Structure 1
């Protein structure tokens, strides 16, 4: 797909998803592309991840499963592109709507806003219940500040994984590029864990996800720094300093970049030691501000997030216009 077409489709997809999201009725009726990808991953895990196989054989099986996943997903998306693009304006519009299902601006905002609402209306219990929908850590181990930090961390990380990364690969590779990214990211979230069942089988998914998220995580940090310069009560200098000082010390090669930018912009400390299930995971702090985050800080983070999403749309639209002017 020509870059001019993919950038136009990206601009339309970002606008459509921000305005409408993914209708709940449609989800109830046919599910969601991520759930379809998830069904394939579950099937591959069930069939090819045998517990009686050696570590090496299970790692090889995981590599093969990932190749099958990206081939099936990429081929299906590429065929849709080949069918729809010749339809002109109608085809571009349909591709934009399909692409919008792979971006999660609206749903991420709603889930994080629900944590703030839960804390305000239901106290600690309400906050814990809402945050358990978006993080993997044990919510019962979190106090009010921990709930708020977890929500802000999830917002920052998923801004990269759920919005900027699919947008980046959509711009470079069209619908097929975004679908391939989404398949990889979903595989990492489902099987890319260091558990007895998935440490070997999910190795390829986890490593490949780290690779494909690398450019988006850096771009996400830049967008948050830029958004901090436009919002009230946020510090672009603090965001930039936190990225330079802390991002590379995060246990994830990518999550530290948007988390550090968010922490520095808001004057907070994010990440650090936390509990998943019954296991405490050690990690470096992102930012050097206060750790006592509140529901008000969640609202500040959401305002920063909305500005960063607007900047992403502006960047896509500006590049689309620039290519159109050059091509004339």
Structure 2
């Protein structure tokens, strides 16, 4: 148990300091390759499904999900078991690295700050290009406010999906649970689309991602509200709590607006609203109040709030770990 908590904290520090080295092998990229291979094996290469069999596609999508999750759990458990069996130090080191791979705080901050830097140095077109790397909407139609808003929304939503949720699963079950969560999240990212190919095949993956993120999303929002208390005059904990209570379900997903509403209230800006995808405008409700115009610095503010939310989460987890350890070894 002590070894697990040590590995967890070291993994958090590795991600915060180093992030994801792009040139090193990454388990999530390996998951993506496996998911892609299975997807092509089950659906074929033809993106246009001429003869639809909805029940078959739902079954195959669920089967892919079970295979990927089972394989991820088996490999993750084998790595954990045999490294700890060989040496406690090796086990801690490997679990810490895998835990860091499950987290994305520094990567999220780095990628969103590229949008800020692009706007500051090279203007709107560069900002559009930078934000296109982290969002799925059409960015060529965005004005500067739209680019900033998209970046802030990405930081807010991924504070749950990419930071707090994997922290929760890594704390509960080490890197094994963390890797399983990343597999679930990756399948949703690759298959959970409402289009001709994935409407039925990706439905199970999308629903299971909602299930796995349901509690972490709400924990993330509450932590963001709590973190806002210590963030100074640029942040409003009262506003975060108010907008969270009012707008946390202003999204098709039961989870996405949870942290977005807390961030919108904390920053006193309005997020979401209509967006264009593949040339088609999708109607979406607003999140937050238009208290003040959104500005470039809100990207920085969102990143600071994300880091503060993660830090508060880790502090609470370490306190809980201390209590558990004292009770266990008493």
Comparing 199-208 and 295-304, the one that deviates more: 295-304
1:73-88 equivalences in 2 (<5 Å): 73-86=72-85, 87-88=87-88
TM-score by length of 2: 0.94
SS at match of 1:141: coil
Which position in structure 2 is the counterpart of 1:70? 69
- CA distance, structure 1, for counterparts of residue 292 and residue 28 of structure 2: 34
Which position in structure 2 is the counterpart of 1:279? 280
Which position in structure 2 is the counterpart of 1:32? 26
Q: Report deviation, 1:291.
A: 6.9
Q: Report deviation, 1:189.
A: 0.4
SS at match of 2:229: helix
Q: Report deviation, 1:179.
A: 1.0
Contact 1:18 1:106 in 2 (8 A): yes
SS at match of 1:280: strand
| 1:264 pairs with 2:265 | yes
Q: How many residues align?
A: 322
Which position in structure 1 is the counterpart of 2:148? 148
SS at match of 2:235: coil
Which position in structure 1 is the counterpart of 2:252? 251
Alignment counterpart, residue 17 of structure 1, candidates 15, 18, 25 = 15
Q: Report deviation, 1:5.
A: 4.6
1:33-182 equivalences in 2 (<5 Å): 33-50=27-44, 51=49, 52-86=51-85, 87-182=87-182
1:24-81 per-residue CA deviation (whole Å, 9 max, x = no partner) reads 332xxxx311110000111111011253451111111111111111111111001011
**CA RMSD, Structure 1 to Structure 2 (Å):** 1.5
| CA 1:292–1:241: 2 relative to 1, 3 Å | same
SS at match of 1:248: coil
Q: Report deviation, 1:289.
A: 2.9
TM-score by length of 1: 0.94
- CA distance, structure 2, for counterparts of residue 38 and residue 90 of structure 1: 27
